[in-house]
Amino acid sequence: MGSNHSTGSCDVTRPAYAGAVTNPESTATPTAAEIARMIDHTLLKPEATRADVEALVAEAVELGTYSVCVSPSMLPVTVPPGSDLLVAVVCGFPSGKHTSAVKAAEAAEAVRSGADEIDMVIDVGAAKEGRFDDVREDIATVRAAAPRPTVLKVIIESAALADEEIVGACRAAAEAGADFVKTSTGFHPSGGASEHAVRLMKQTVGDALEVKASGGVRTLEQARAMVAAGATRLGVSGSRALLTGGAPAGSY
């Protein structure tokens, strides 16, 4: 599949990237169409095929999602001419136990192959041990390999972390120059996104970074709750069911 596009409270101040969703504190209930524009329509199953990714892209365009999120081996991804759909790719996924050099190489290759955004996984064990300098250096290495305008999201696996560890990981992400902190891979046995984690992450990063909620967001009600807590992006595999009120679908 040939790519035909490529775009692009702590004391760290970062400029908003082009297309950023703003006003996460709004009290207005977002419509389904507004929620769609916050969704990374996701397919990360190991058995996914190229035909599955082509179907994912078609569905994303139909639903009006912000992006598709796929595995690096699925690149390059063809986006229909005239579409503003972006392509996000995971890195160091799902364990985060790759070396920083391997993550950096994976991110750089993904960008060369047309990825607009990188969703990297931290070494969760380092955060559990309080080694936040190591977490920061890991993120910074990937940031250097995938500089702006590429958007860098940092998956901290919040369900596996205590509150103080969530705060430390978010601060490390901000100091390393990330654009987002993200709750979950959707593959960890501890679970996915929670309103509590999203709220704590947003309180920690303030306006410096944005927050992506992923893992277990399957209904419009859940999506709206995550946005109310501070999320401006949502990782969803069952996007059609979420947006249309169908039976919850997807494992992400």
Q: Could you give the C-alpha distances from 252 to 6, 14, 174, in angstroms and in order?
A: 25, 29, 25
- Which of 11-15, 22-26, 136-140, 223-227 is least confident? 11-15
Query: What residue segments make up the domains of the chain, in order of their start?
Result: 75-234
Spot the catalytic one: 103, 153, 202, 212.
212
CB 89 within 8 A of CB 115: yes
Provide the pLDDT for residue 248.
Answer: 73
Output the pLDDT for position 246: 76
Query: pLDDT tens digits, residue range 151-176?
Result: 999 999 999 999 999 999 999 999 99
pLDDT over 90 percentage in the chain:
86
Residue 100 CA to residue 143 CA, distance in Å, equals 11
**Residue 212 annotated among the catalytic residues of the structure:** yes
What is the residue whose two structure tokens read 């070396």? 99
pTM of the model: 0.89
How many other C-beta atoms can be found within 10 angstroms of the C-beta atom of residue 80? Answer: 12
pLDDT per residue as tens digits for the range 193-244: 999 999 999 999 999 999 999 999 999 999 999 999 999 999 999 999 999 9
Whether 97 sits among the annotated catalytic residues: the reply is no
Annotated active-site residue in 40, 103, 138, 182:
182
Q: How many CB atoms lie within 10 A of CB 224?
A: 17
- Residues 96-114 have pLDDT tens digits of 999 999 999 999 999 999 9
CA atoms of 117 and 88, how far apart (whole Å): 4
Catalytically annotated residue among 40, 103, 116, 119: 119
Give CATH for domain 75-234.
3.20.20.70
